[in-house]
Structures are given as C-alpha cells and as structure tokens.
A and B are shown apart, each in its own frame.
Chain A
Amino acid sequence: MNNYALVVAGLIVLVGLAAARARLDRRDGARRVFDFFWRLEIFTVVLLVASLVVLGTVQVVMRNLMHSGLLWADPFMRHVVLYLGAIGATVASARMNHITVDVASRILPARLKPARRAVVYGATAIATYLLAIAAIRLVIDERSFGEVAFLGIKAWVIQLILPVAFVVITYRTLLAIFLGREPAEAGSDVA
C-alpha cells in the first residue's frame, strides 16, 4: 500500500460510508442490519472474555490436580487479550468513552463545544486511519515472512484484527461527527 492515491481513496470511502450510515439512521430496515452487526460484536466480546475465564480455570485445575496443562492455552489467552484490546476499543469508540486528558471541554464556553468536538474527532479520525494503514502494512509484511503464531495459525491472519479494528474505529469516529452525537447514545444499533 505504498500508493498514496489508494490511501486517500480508502479514507474517502470511509467518509462516504459514515455519511450514508448517518443518513440511514432512521430507516427501520437499515436499523436491523446495524443492530445485527452490533450484536455480533458484543457476542464476540462476551465469547472472548468467557474463554479467558474458562481456560484460566481449566489451567488451574489441570496443573494442580493432574500436573499437566494445555500447551496452547497460554498463547491463546495472550492473543485473546490482543483481540479484547482491539474490539474493546471499537466498542469504546461507539460510545466515544475513550480515556482522554480533556481539559478543554471543562473550561471552554458552551458555544465553542461543538467546534471543539468536530476538530478533535476529525483529527482523531485521521490519526486512527493512519494507524489502520500502519497495521495493513504490518499484515502485508508478516504475510511475506509467513511465521506461525501458535497451533499452526499464521501470525498475519491473527494480526488482521488490527487493521479491521482501526478501520472500524475511524468509521465510528467519522460517524460521530456526521450524527452530531455518539453512535451508541440512542439505543444499541451501532454498526
């Protein structure tokens, strides 16, 4: 992806998607689709956390009672943490409740707040989009190395979550600008 045109085109597509999604906000049919993806995201997250609880407990029991353990459990759990970080960040983006320093919104007069929001979210979208590009380049590089992470799974396949997550984060940040509110504020149908 050394092609600048492709990078710019990608950003334009995302802006278009977010704008289209913002316009479709009130259509019932569209809502059902958005809702489905949002539920899928939450379901994945629940499954990932549950897998940590179960595997962690299984490891305790196996190690202390049978003096053995699942060899793949440790790398698996570490990668689950990576996935939780990535997907958790997209969930946090839907509510835009990321950790911030945010001195300005406490001291700025109310009439300047929408402007602050637009500027900050715009800059955030650009930064997260560039992070997505960085992640895509990582995946392409890794793919040419072809290293295996664990259980025969290639590292680059696992790493795909990084560009996906940052693209989603960028899209949601843009969506928050178009909607003029946080995507998950009004009900649960974010996609």
Chain B
Amino acid sequence: MALLGILIALLALAGMPLFAVFGALAMALFFFAGIDISSVAVSMYSVAGSPLLVAIPLFTLAGYIFAHSKAPDRLVKLSAAVFPGGLAVVALVACAVFTAFTGASGVTIVAMGGLLLPALLQEGYDRKFTLGLVTASGSLGLLFPPSLPIIIYGYVAEVPVDKLFLAGILPGILLVGLLAGYGYYKGKRERVHGVRPSLTAIRAAARDAGWEIPLPFIVLGGIYGGILTVNEAAAITALYALIVEVFVYRDIPVRKLPEIFSESVALVGGILVIIMCSFGFVNYLIDAEVPMRILDWMQRYISSKYTFLLILNLFLLVVGCLMDIFSALIVVVPLIAPVATGFGVDPVHLGIVFLTNLEIGYLTPPVGLNLFISSFRFKEPVVKLYSASVPFLLLMLLALVVITYAPALSLALVNLVAR
C-alpha cells in the first residue's frame, strides 16, 4: 500500500490529472481495506445528491460569456471614471469584480490582462510593476460574492453559502484596498499622468455598461432579500449574461455560443470530476478518523488557537501553491475543518482564512498558477514574474495576518445580518 501510495504521489507530481490521482488512491485504499472498489463509484453518484453544486456550471457559464464579450472593456472604462488614483487602482478594482463573477480559473488574467497591460504601460507605469499587478489581480476578488471557490467551500465544509458571501466582503475590501494603496503610491511617485474623474465621463461609462451594472445588485439583493436561492441566482446570472451580451450588446454571435458553452463545461467537468473521484478518498480518510488523529496529535503540541492558525496558514500557503484552488478545497477542507473546530475556530472565519491563503497561493513561487498563466499570456519568463509579484505577495501576506487574527473582520457583517 505504502509503495503504491508513493508511486501515485510521484505520478501526481509528474502531471497525472488529479481526478485520476484521487480515484486511484481511493481504489487502492478500498482494495487494501477489503472493500469493493465500487464504493468509489457510489461516492461519485452522491454528487447528484447535492443541491449546491448546481450553481457551479451556471456561474461558470456566465463568467465565460462575460469573458468572451466586451464586458471587460466596459468594466475598465467604468472603473476608470468612478475611481480616482490612477489606472493601477482602476485595474485592481475591475479585476476584483471580474474575478468574483467568473470564478477563479485564470480567466481574469486572460480576459482583463490583455486589456490592462498595454494601457498601464502607456500611462507610464514601469513594466515590472505592471506585470506584478496584472498577475496579482488574477485571483483578487475571490472573496467577493458570487465567487465559485466560496460556493465550493460552503459545499465541502457544510457552511451556509450566504453567510460566507457576507463574511468575505470586508476581508476582500482589505485586500483590494492594500494593493490599491500601493498602486496609488506608485502612480504618485512615478508621476503617472492619470485622468481626472469627471461627471460626464462617469455618465458616459455608466450608459455604456448600463445593462451590466444591475447584475451584482440583482444577485446580492436577490439572495439577501430572500427572493433567490444561490442556485436560482446562478441561473438568473447565466440567463442575464446570455441575453445582455448576445442580444442587447451583440458582442457574441449566436453561432459562437456552442463553443463558449463547451469551453465552460470542460472547466466545470474538470472540477466536478475531481469532486466525484476525491469523494471516496476523503470519505475513507474521515471514516478512518484521520481528522481526529490530526487534532489529537496537534493538541499535544499546541494549545492556543492562534498558534494553530499560524501553522494552518503556513500549511495552506504550501498547499495553495502546489494545488489549484478547487482540488485544494475539496480535499483539504474536510480533513482540516474538524481540527479547526476542535481549536475553537469559527467555521465561517475558517472559510475566509482558507480562501485567502489559497488566493495567495496562486501567486507564490515556484508553482503558483497565476505566475504561469501570466507568463504564458504575456510571453515573459516565469522568473521575471516571480520578482515582479513580490511586493504584491508581501502586501497580501500582511492582509492574511490581519484576516487571520482579527476574526471580527470576517464575522462582523454576518453577525449584523443575523441580528
């Protein structure tokens, strides 16, 4: 068993698809425990038992539709009109909004980066700063509703998604705010000539994006007004995106739709098949009381919740830079959540800490995903992106410390609404 486990782990590092890795691990565990391997398939079928997963293909479809339309362009123009402080600040805000609505699949860097990089360079920001900024903003906004990783966390950890949506808002603003502050300072110091916000510019940009502006309000208002469930909000978002981008703005010709649908399904299939295959593996570990054993072992050495959180952060940063966010959530959360509860960490707060870590993991050398997407997209060597993203990485780590050790930041809005 141990030998087989090592072999599978090596194959995983060599690039075997993760769903096959988890499927193989689960089958091996069941086989050596004398359980029929069909148990793995039983776990797969249990995907059909979860109502929450319905939101995933719908929000992803909406995201792909926006990414293929001219919505990124309009979003940047609108942010540029509304937010003073230079294009760097604008870029961060626009990317955060875009990521929230498109999940965190690297779409942001591909869709927005191509637009922002030349614009930022033209305004006079230096290339290194610009590359770092675009790379960092690829996963910024992950904490804002209706981001896909939040939904998946809620599903895996069995925490209500609407609470998580609320909890992510202030920490998300902190992250964007810190980076935006740096961008503002950089713009001032390098005397980048920015455009002054004017009412006419705001009006023109708002008119252009007039059909897209209501969407966040529909989604959030719908969910918190008790009119929409998360799944229904997802269906409405997808329908809204389809109608607006295909029939109102006519950015996307109807004949291109099958391609966009299948692109989004390939991503969704990639995520869902990992959920399906890792279920058996995770269930086996839970049945074997692995989380309880981790808890026992840790409690022998650690007594404070804050030391635990520190170790959790270090662990998650490593996980975040090795694994993509979806598989990390699916496999790690069920094992760690009971341990964290044992240390008295609030499950909603834990969710935000988790997601922040994984967001930073996207940017952490040597294998953070954003670094590679950026390197591919902008044809720059990865090593150059490592150094370019360091200042942003440090700022995000600072935000992580605040988010971890000030649970109130995550829980204030949740408690306010619950009251």
What are the interface flags for B217-237 relative to A under an 8 Å C-beta threshold, 1 for contact and 0 otherwise? Answer: 000000000011001101110
Residues of B within 8 A of A (CB): 11-21, 23-24, 27, 36-42, 44-45, 47-51, 53-54, 56-58, 61, 227-228, 231-232, 234-236, 238-239, 242, 257-258, 261-262, 264-277, 322-324, 326-327, 367, 372
Pairwise interchain contact A100-B16, C-beta atoms closer than 8 A:
yes
The number of A-B residue pairs with CB atoms under 8 Å apart is 223
What are the interface flags for A54-88 relative to B under an 8 Å C-beta threshold, 1 for contact and 0 otherwise? Answer: 01110110001000000000110111111011111
Separation of A100 and B14 alpha carbons in the complex (Å)? 9
Pairwise interchain contact A131-B40, C-beta atoms closer than 8 A:
yes
Return B252 CB to nearest CB of chain A, in Å. 14
Name A138's contact: one of B18, B42, B242 (CB within 8 Å).
B42
Q: How large is the interface on A (under 10, 10 to 19, 20 to 34, 35 or more residues)?
A: 35 or more
Name B40's contact: one of A105, A134, A155 (CB within 8 Å).
A134
Interface centre among B20, B54, B227, B238 (most CB of A within 10 A): B20
Name A42's contact: one of B12, B262, B322 (CB within 8 Å).
B262
Q: Is the interface of B mostly helix, strand, loop or mixed?
A: helix
Residues of the B chain whose Cβ atoms lie less than 8 Å from the Cβ of A59: 232, 235
Pairwise interchain contact A88-B231, C-beta atoms closer than 8 A:
no
Residues of the B chain whose Cβ atoms lie less than 8 Å from the Cβ of A141: 38
Pairwise interchain contact A101-B41, C-beta atoms closer than 8 A:
no
Name B266's contact: one of A74, A95, A105 (CB within 8 Å).
A95
Separation of A111 and B12 alpha carbons in the complex (Å)? 20
Separation of A44 and B134 alpha carbons in the complex (Å)? 36
Return B277 CB to nearest CB of chain A, in Å. 7
30 contacts between A and B (CB under 8 A): A46-B257, A52-B58, A52-B235, A53-B61, A53-B242, A56-B58, A60-B228, A60-B235, A77-B231, A78-B50, A78-B54, A80-B54, A81-B57, A85-B276, A87-B269, A89-B19, A89-B269, A89-B273, A92-B266, A92-B273, A97-B270, A99-B327, A101-B13, A103-B15, A127-B23, A130-B23, A131-B27, A137-B36, A138-B44, A138-B45
Pairwise interchain contact A91-B15, C-beta atoms closer than 8 A:
no
Separation of A42 and B15 alpha carbons in the complex (Å)? 26
Name B16's contact: one of A55, A77, A124 (CB within 8 Å).
A124
